[in-house]
C-alpha cells in the first residue's frame, strides 16, 4: 500500500523502487484539512489498486500528519497558507530538493498539480502595498504554472463545491455564491450546509467524518466528474469563471490509470 511505503520516509518511494508505472502525480493542496484528507482517502481507499503505479504526494504532508501543538512555527505557517503563490513556491522547492530522488528530468509524463480555490484571489480591487492586485498575482501564478508545465485544479468558489458534486446537482441558489464580475467572493457555510442536508457532513473543523468515508465511492467520484464537466465552459477555460470545479480533470487523470489496471 502507498501509505506503508510513504510512512518511514516522506519522499519515498524513489523512482527506482516503483514496480509498474513510471508516472507520478504530485499535489500541492491549498487547504490544510479538507483537500488533504480527500486525496489521502482516495489514493488509499478508492484507488488502492494503483497504489504502486501512481503516487499522489502532498508536498506538506509531513507537517499535516503532526498534531497542531506538535508543529513548529514554520510548519504552522505552511499549513495555514492559502495564497496561490505559496503553493507554487512549495511545489518548486519540492521539485528542486528532490530532483535526484525522482529523476524528474527523465520522466516528462509526471504530473504536478496545484489545488486552488478562486476565493478572493481574482479580485482586482484588493491591492497590496506594492500596488499589485490579487488578480495580478493570480495571473502571475498561472503563467508560471504554464512555464513549469504544472497543472491546476480550481474550484469556484471553493473545494466544498467539488465535494457536493459527488452527491447532487447544483441548484439556482448555489450559483449565487459563484465568484464572477457581478458577484465578489463571500465567506459562507452554504456548501457545508448542503453536504449536511445530504447526510455527508463535514465536521466543524472541516475534517471529514470517518463514518461517511464510504460515501465517496468510485461511483460517486464518477458522478462528480460528469457533473463538473457539465459545469465547465466550452472551450475549456484555465479556471471556472462561474460556478464550477476543474478538480475533475485531475480525477480523470487518476481514473484513466486506474482503468488500465482494474482487475489486475
Contact indicator for 243, 7 with CB cutoff of 8 Å: no
- H-only helix segments in 27-181: 34-41, 61-64, 73-80, 84-97, 99-102, 134-148, 160-164, 172-175
pLDDT surpasses 80 at 186: yes
Dihedral angle over CA of 56, 60, 65, 68, nearest 10: -150
> What is the reported pLDDT for 32?
60
- Each domain of the chain, given as residue ranges in start order, spans 2-261
Contact indicator for 242, 180 with CB cutoff of 8 Å: yes
> What is the reported pLDDT for 11?
46
Number of other CB atoms surrounding residue 22 within 10 Å: 13
Q: Exposed, middle or buried: residue 55 (CB in 10 Å: 0-12, 13-18, 19+)?
A: buried
The pLDDT tens digits of the residues spanning 71-122 come to 666 655 655 556 888 889 888 988 998 888 888 888 888 999 999 999 999 9
Mean predicted lDDT score pLDDT of the chain:
82
Angle between helices 134-148 and 84-97 (to 10 degrees): 30
The pLDDT tens digits of the residues spanning 41-50 come to 777 789 887 7
The terminus-to-terminus CA distance of the chain in angstroms comes to 15
> 134 or 51: whose pLDDT is higher?
134
Report percent pLDDT > 90 for the chain: 47
How far from chain centre, in Å, is Cα 184? 23
pLDDT surpasses 80 at 10: no
> 98 or 243: whose pLDDT is higher?
243
> What is the reported pLDDT for 67?
60
Edge-to-edge strands, sheet with 244-245:
56-58, 25-29, 111-117, 151-156, 244-245
Most confident of 16-20, 95-99, 192-196, 203-207: 192-196
> What is the reported pLDDT for 234?
76
Cα-Cα-Cα-Cα dihedral sign, residues 90, 116, 126, 164: negative
The pLDDT tens digits of the residues spanning 13-32 come to 444 444 445 788 888 886 56
The pLDDT tens digits of the residues spanning 143-162 come to 999 999 999 999 999 999 99
> 235 or 95: whose pLDDT is higher?
95
> What is the reported pLDDT for 259?
82
> pTM of the predicted model, to two decimals?
0.83
Amino acid at each position: 500500500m502507498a501509505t506503508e511505503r510513504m510512512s518511514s520516509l516522506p519522499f519515498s518511494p524513489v523512482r527506482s523502487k516503483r514496480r509498474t508505472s513510471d508516472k507520478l502525480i504530485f499535489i500541492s493542496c491549498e487547504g490544510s484539512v479538507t483537500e488533504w484528507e480527500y486525496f489521502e482517502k482516495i489514493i488509499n481507499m478508492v484507488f488502492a489498486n494503483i497504489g504502486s503505479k501512481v503516487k499522489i504526494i502532498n508536498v506538506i504532508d509531513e507537517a499535516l500528519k503532526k498534531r497542531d501543538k506538535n508543529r513548529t512555527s514554520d510548519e504552522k505557517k505552511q499549513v495555514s497558507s492559502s495564497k496561490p503563490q505559496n503553493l507554487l513556491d512549495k511545489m518548486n522547492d519540492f521539485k528542486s530538493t528532490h530532483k535526484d530522488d525522482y529523476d524528474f528530468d527523465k520522466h516528462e509524463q509526471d504530473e504536478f498539480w496545484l489545488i486552488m480555490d478562486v476565493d478572493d484571489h481574482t479580485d482586482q480591487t484588493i491591492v497590496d502595498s506594492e500596488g499589485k492586485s490579487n488578480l495580478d498575482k493570480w495571473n502571475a501564478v498561472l503563467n508560471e504554472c504554464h512555464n513549469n508545465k504544472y497543472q491546476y485544479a480550481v474550484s469556484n468558489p471553493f473545494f466544498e463545491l467539488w465535494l457536493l458534486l459527488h452527491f447532487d446537482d447544483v441548484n439556482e441558489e448555489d450559483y449565487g455564491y459563484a465568484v464572477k464580475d457581478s458577484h465578489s467572493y463571500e465567506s459562507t457555510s452554504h456548501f457545508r450546509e448542503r453536504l449536511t442536508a445530504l447526510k455527508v457532513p463535514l465536521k466543524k473543523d472541516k475534517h471529514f467524518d470517518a463514518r461517511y468515508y464510504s460515501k465517496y465511492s468510485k461511483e460517486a467520484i464518477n458522478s462528480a466528474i460528469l457533473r463538473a464537466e457539465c459545469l465547465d465552459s466550452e472551450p475549456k477555460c484555465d479556471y471556472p469563471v462561474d460556478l464550477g470545479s476543474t478538480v475533475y480533470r485531475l480525477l480523470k487523470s487518476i481514473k484513466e490509470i486506474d482503468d488500465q489496471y482494474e482487475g489486475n
